[in-house]
Amino acid sequence: MAYAAPPETVTFHGLLFDMDGTIIDSTSAVVKHWHTIGNEIGVDPEVILQTSHGRRSIDILKLLAPEKATVEYVRQMESQLPKKYGSEAIEIPGARALLDQLITANAPWAIVTSGSEPLVHGWLEVLKLPHPGHLVTAESVENGKPDPTCYKLGWSRLGLPADAEVLVLEDSPAGIKAGKAAGCKVIGLVTSHTMEQVVAAEPDWVVEDLRSVKMVACGEDGRVTLQFSNALIAKVQ
């Protein structure tokens, strides 16, 4: 299969972005971070890394080191990640341009992430990326992705009605499933998982990264019209 679908234009009332793998790529930093933490808490770092992407640190710790599974420990631990490994993270291609378009048009958008608040703000500061007006983090919900609560909360914080068309931008299968379960349309990015893994999670569109997503209009009512180009296929069935 090739990323060669013709351009498609779709209109939404609001956009909900995942963070890591969607706006930034901090994979190498996270690998180093979990190796350090794993050695500190006596858990094989490779075991942690097998299940960590797209999931909250507290959920991983509940399984592998329950005594460390507290909000306070996670916030302190994750606050150090951008400070220690700031040079390891890069932005996902197309992310900055899309966010700048949305901000200029005053379009409704939010970040919905499995990371903690200190982690999110730390990375946005390091990479000089815009901070969202609305943010849902690991601390915001009882259960992480693939539970849809985080995306339902993001939807609510944008002040959108129940019949709104909302787009989730995600890279992890757990996040894609959460977005779909929350009633959103989902575009899956092949940035952290294989094409096959992303397709298996059943997003509505699949693209390589955010260079394939451009804002082409924003109405006075806040509705955002996007163009998806070079998708894997027009729609994933």
Instruction: Point out the residues that are catalytic.
Output: 18, 20
The Cα–Cα gap between 100 and 6 comes to 24
Helix (H, G, I), strand (E, B) or coil at 18: coil
Cβ atoms of 68 and 34 within 8 Å: the answer is no
236, two tokens: 């994933």
- The Cβ of residue 145 has, within 10 Å, a number of other Cβ atoms equal to 28
* Closest by CA position to 36, among listed 26, 49, 55: 49
The three-state DSSP-derived secondary structure of 97-115 is: HHHHHHHHCCCCEEEECCC
